[in-house]
Structure 1
Amino acid sequence: MSTSMPENTRTPENSRIHNIGYRNYDGARLGRAYARRSLYSQSLRGAYGLGRSAKSKVLPMILLGVMCVPAAIIVAVAVATKAKELPVDYTRYAILTQAVIGLFLAAQAPQSVSRDLRFKTVPLYFSRPIERVDYVLAKYGAMASALFLLTALPVVVLYVGSLLAKMDFAEQTKGFGQGLVSVALLSLLFGGIGLVMAALTPRRGFGVAAVIAVLTISYGAVSTVQGIAYGTDHVSAIQWLGLFSPITLIDGVQTAFLGADTAFPGGSAAAPGAGAGAVYLLVVLALIAGSYAVLMRRYRKVGL
């Protein structure tokens, strides 16, 4: 039997093999740490629309301004009236502006992770020397950092204003430090919850709705039940009801350990003490760790 190629599959006599110039890469290999830092930086910039279209910058920058303008007004009034103390505590400011924080998180958490899932771009990260843990850490760190910038900047404005008004330096510095600890804990908690809600669906709209629902409905339900408990003289139950909402968890922790005034109905009578405060802190840390674990599991299930 002949082993010659059929006539229609023979290579033409005028065919050529071209060298298209592929060469080995001889540069520095920066590794996983560099890839993780790059993803973190890109995600943090993206949370404020930097490096994206102009319309992507509008909402986050407006919300950042909304967070800072009341603080600037408070400072202006304090300086003009030569007040001896600020009308709003450093630890109280984030509680009062929780709606703005929730809106920022609802807008930016889906932008950070939902689009990667929807457009199947996540595997591109893992074609580089980066692993699942690198992706989750970078995204979680970037969202928490973006929230920290949002919540810490007005606290800085309040602190600078207090110094300009010549308030007591030691007292204001102590309050400023407590405020930073409070918003750092809030940023880690809210960032984890927001990313988990957003990562459950590749649809950005569903992610936005999920984040708003978790933050708003839980706070509304807890506040309502706390009000009922206060109205029916069950004051002792108020502090334990606060365990079921992210913002009331932060309120309880800072009341117990950071000297803040509680926003719970009943005031100091319903404020968590050291024992209840320890429970609050453990729940917050468990939610942060749980959010990280859920994100790791989520990205394992999508085949990364």
Structure 2
Amino acid sequence: MATDLTPPGADPTRIHNIGYRKYDGQRLGRSYARRSLYSQSLRGAYGLGRSAKSKVLPMILFGVMVLVAAIIVAVAVAAPAGTMTKLPLSYTAFAITLQPVIGLYLASQAPQTVSRDLRFKTVPLYFSRPIERRDYVLAKYGAMASALFVLTAVPLVVLYAGALLAEFDFGAQTKGFGQGLVSVALLSVLFAGLGLVMAALTPRRGFGVAAVIALFTISYGAVSTVQVIAYSQEATDAISWLGLFSPATLIDGVQTAFLGASSAYPGGYGPGAGAGVVHLLVVLALIAGSYAVLMRRYRKVGL
């Protein structure tokens, strides 16, 4: 039986000094929190700051991209003088050709960027700080787009350096390099948005990986197959419009219409000016739509 040892008439209230002190330091606010989340997410996309096994796949895929560029450079440099005046693979064609590698990278890292936060209920921890829903979405979106840009732009730098080493025309190579950078920047923003949307729909990383692979691989394969069929049936006018139904072919259409690239469509039947405008509008609509869907997704889960 408990005994009350408080003397009669005494105040039972106790104040315990457990050592907490008032924080008097600088309060860095939302912008600092947003930048921190962006940098942490970007580092995480390459496994930096995570376990060793988390670094393996993104670093291997990055290495594959750079290795392919290095092989192209080696071929150009080793060719006898005068037999080659340009790179075997153009700057704008590089990312389209290696789209499967880019898709695999995105499938592995987009779920890591957003699905884990949903699965382990860590998102509310971000919002206990001075950060809002749009800050979270912008930081994650920006980090994934930046990671893809690094993946695709660094090989272009290797190609450019190799072209100058092979003494190809400086003006032509610089122009092509600039066009390639614009192309991969647009590709990075589009792919990042679509990949994050697919990954954010489920907290299960495996489902997110499968969804991203299905979106990019199946759509590209299906569109390319139908384009080949249209080419074989001499329905060449339909080839460029079919490119609207796959992310990779959308980028191919935009760079063909506006960046002077050679189309990878069957027979080289890329979009003209009118169809190119439609391709560009669809790309911009998908980017804006991806952001809107991500905002709605995090509003739906109560954040």
TM-score, normalised to structure 1's length?
0.95
Which residue of 1 is the match for residue 77 of structure 2? 79
2:68 maps to a residue whose letter is P
**TM-superposed deviation, 1:225:** 1.0
Which residue of 2 is the match for residue 276 of structure 1? 275
Unaligned runs of 5+ in 1: 1-6
- Identity of counterpart residues, as a percentage? 79
Which residue of 2 is the match for residue 230 of structure 1? 231
Which residue of 1 is the match for residue 149 of structure 2? 148
Please give the alpha-carbon distance, in whole angstroms, between the structure 2 residues aligned to 1:293 and 1:11.
63
Taking a change above 3 Å as real, the CA distance of residues 278 and 11 of structure 1, as seen in their structure-2 partners, is farther
**TM-superposed deviation, 1:18:** 2.5
Taking a change above 3 Å as real, the CA distance of residues 255 and 19 of structure 1, as seen in their structure-2 partners, is same
Unaligned runs of 5+ in 2: none
Measured against aligned partners, the alpha-carbon deviations of 1:73-128 in whole angstroms (never above 9, x if no partner) come to 11112112243211110000001100100000000000000000000000000000
Which residue of 1 is the match for residue 55 of structure 2? 57
Please give the alpha-carbon distance, in whole angstroms, between the structure 2 residues aligned to 1:185 and 1:69.
23
**TM-superposed deviation, 1:232:** 1.1
Which residue of 2 is the match for residue 247 of structure 1? 248
| Residues 1:214 and 2:192 are matched in the alignment | no
Taking a change above 3 Å as real, the CA distance of residues 101 and 11 of structure 1, as seen in their structure-2 partners, is farther
Which residue of 2 is the match for residue 294 of structure 1? 293
**TM-superposed deviation, 1:10:** 3.8
Q: How does 1:84-233 map to 2 (within 5 A)?
A: 84-233=85-234
TM-score, normalised to structure 2's length?
0.95
Please give the alpha-carbon distance, in whole angstroms, between the structure 2 residues aligned to 1:29 and 1:174.
46
Secondary structure, aligned partner of 1:286 = helix
2:36 maps to a residue whose letter is S
Secondary structure, aligned partner of 2:19 = coil
**TM-superposed deviation, 1:158:** 0.2
Which residue of 2 is the match for residue 4 of structure 1? none
Q: CA RMSD in A?
A: 1.5
Which residue of 1 is the match for residue 25 of structure 2? 27
Please give the alpha-carbon distance, in whole angstroms, between the structure 2 residues aligned to 1:11 and 1:122.
47
**TM-superposed deviation, 1:135:** 0.1
The ranges of structure 1 where at least 4 consecutive aligned residues each deviate by more than 3 angstroms after the TM superposition are 7-17
Please give the alpha-carbon distance, in whole angstroms, between the structure 2 residues aligned to 1:212 and 1:147.
15
1:64 maps to a residue whose letter is F
Secondary structure, aligned partner of 2:174 = helix
Secondary structure, aligned partner of 1:202 = coil
Measured against aligned partners, the alpha-carbon deviations of 1:174-225 in whole angstroms (never above 9, x if no partner) come to 0000000000000000000000000000000000000000001111111111
Which residue of 1 is the match for residue 267 of structure 2? 266
Secondary structure, aligned partner of 1:266 = helix
**TM-superposed deviation, 1:11:** 5.8
Which residue of 1 is the match for residue 38 of structure 2? 40
**TM-superposed deviation, 1:12:** 5.2
**Residues matched between the structures, number:** 296
Please give the alpha-carbon distance, in whole angstroms, between the structure 1 residues aligned to 2:86 and 2:104.
30
